[in-house]
Amino acid sequence: MYEMTIQCVATEEAIDFCDLLAEQIARFFSVQDCDMFVLSVHEAVINSVEAIKTLRKDAAKKTFLLSLRVTEEDVTVTVVDEGDGIPSKQLERMGEESLEDLLLAESGRGLLLIKEVMDEMWLERQENGKCAIAMRMRRGRNGSSDIHS
């Protein structure tokens, strides 16, 4: 099992870094769908960065955490930020709408996308009262890494 947590300042550079990290993790540990895994992590990170920038005047100093946990069966990703959490209206929509309903919308697809393409998605309440997005995708090829692809 492998575990790591990375703390990033909420910047465009951090988004790019997390995309690169997600891609390498997905390929090295052979998740079921590498592209959808990377896209899901990207959406969660974008949501965090946008929440921080929108809600915090001192956003340049605010951070988010990206945690990865790899087991023989799956890869779990958790993203926690210093924003105000996911609005309850958005959570309600997740139960009522599908990704297809919002396909052409300007925004609001990220959580639905994650919910539909990952094997599992859930929200976690943190000790500090914040809400984290967590997601899991199974590994392929009996959990073996394929570093040659």
Per-residue model confidence as pLDDT tens digits over 102-121: 555 555 577 888 988 999 99
CATH number of residue 95's parent domain: 3.30.565.10
- Domain boundaries, position 100: 2-143
Residue 149 is assigned to a structural domain of this protein: no
What is the residue-wise DSSP string for the chain? -EEEEEEEESSHHHHHHHHHHHHHHHHHTTBS-HHHHHHHHHHHHHHHHHHHHHH-TTGGG-EEEEEEEE-SSEEEEEEEESS----HHHHHHHHH--GGGGTTSSS--HHHHHHHHSSEEEEEE-TTS-EEEEEEEEBSGGG---TT-
Rounded CA Rg of the chain: 15
Residue 107 is assigned to a structural domain of this protein: yes
Q: How confident is the model at residue 146 (pLDDT cuts 50, 70, 90)?
A: very low
Q: Which of 30, 27, 26, 8 is nearest to 17 (CA)?
A: 8
Residue 28 is assigned to a structural domain of this protein: yes
Is residue 128 over pLDDT 90? no
Q: What is the pLDDT of residue 1?
A: 93
Query: How many of the other CB atoms lie within 10 Å of CB of 101?
Result: 13
Residue 69 is assigned to a structural domain of this protein: yes
Residue 89 is assigned to a structural domain of this protein: yes
Q: Which of 1-5, 21-25, 60-64, 73-77 has the lowest mean pLDDT?
A: 60-64
> Hey, what are 101's tokens?
């309903």
Chain-wide mean pLDDT for the chain? 81
- What's the structural domain count of the chain? 1
Q: What is the pLDDT of residue 68?
A: 97
Q: What is the pLDDT of residue 25?
A: 97
Q: Of 45-59, 67-81, 121-135, give the range with the top mean pLDDT.
A: 67-81
Q: How confident is the model at residue 138 (pLDDT cuts 50, 70, 90)?
A: very high
Alpha-carbon span 111 to 50, nearest angstrom = 14
Residue 45 is assigned to a structural domain of this protein: yes
Residue 54 is assigned to a structural domain of this protein: yes
Residue 38 is assigned to a structural domain of this protein: yes
